Amino acid sequence: MIDPDIVAHIRKDAYANWIGATVEAIDRGYSRVSLVVTESMLNFHGMTHGGIVFSLGDIAFAAASNSHGQTAVALNVNMSFLRATGVGDHLIAEAQEVNLGGVTALYDIVVTEKNSHQLVAKR
């Protein structure tokens, strides 16, 4: 169990709240974040903008990496986009710590669509 003050601090993230992301779970080195895609999140092709998908994964990463109570930021992130989504899709991003070193750590980030269970993006 992590410190409730850390959880409260993470859940105050202004950007996450602005895009409508919900931090559903936080544990040491793990988090799950979700959002339902709205029309304002679509690109000019009518698909969920890659920035939204990336942001959801980044929010999950931030929650997982800061769950230890020490300020953590990304050193490098890449994302492979595997499936398009659209309005009404419920996206779930999970970040899982793979390795925690002295000053760096490695996280797996996976974004899926809740209802179909299909993989949307992965880091």
Cβ-contact 64, 2 below 8 angstroms: no
Entry pTM: 0.95
25 near 32, Cβ under 8 Å? yes
Percent of the chain with pLDDT over 90: 93
Taking the C-alpha atoms of residue 67 and residue 1, their distance in angstroms, rounded to an integer, is: 10
Note the pLDDT of residue 1: 78
Residue 63's Cβ-side half-sphere holds a number of Cα atoms within 13 Å equal to 33
Per-residue pLDDT tens for 79-96?
999 999 999 999 999 999
Q: Which fold, 4-122?
A: Thiol Ester Dehydrase; Chain A (3.10.129)
H helix intervals, the chain: 4-11, 14-19, 50-65
* Model pLDDT, residue 60: 98
SS3 32: strand
Whether 36 shows a pLDDT value over 90: the answer reads yes
Task: Over range 94-112, report the average pLDDT.
Answer: 95
pLDDT greater than 90 at residue 47 = yes
Domain segments of the chain as ranges? 4-122
Chain segment 12-33, per-residue pLDDT in tens: 999 999 999 999 999 999 999 9
Give the up-direction half-sphere exposure of residue 15: CA atoms within 13 A in the CB hemisphere: 11
Q: What's the CA gap between 54 and 37, in Å, rounded?
A: 13
Q: In whole numbers, what is the pLDDT of the chain averaged over residues?
A: 96
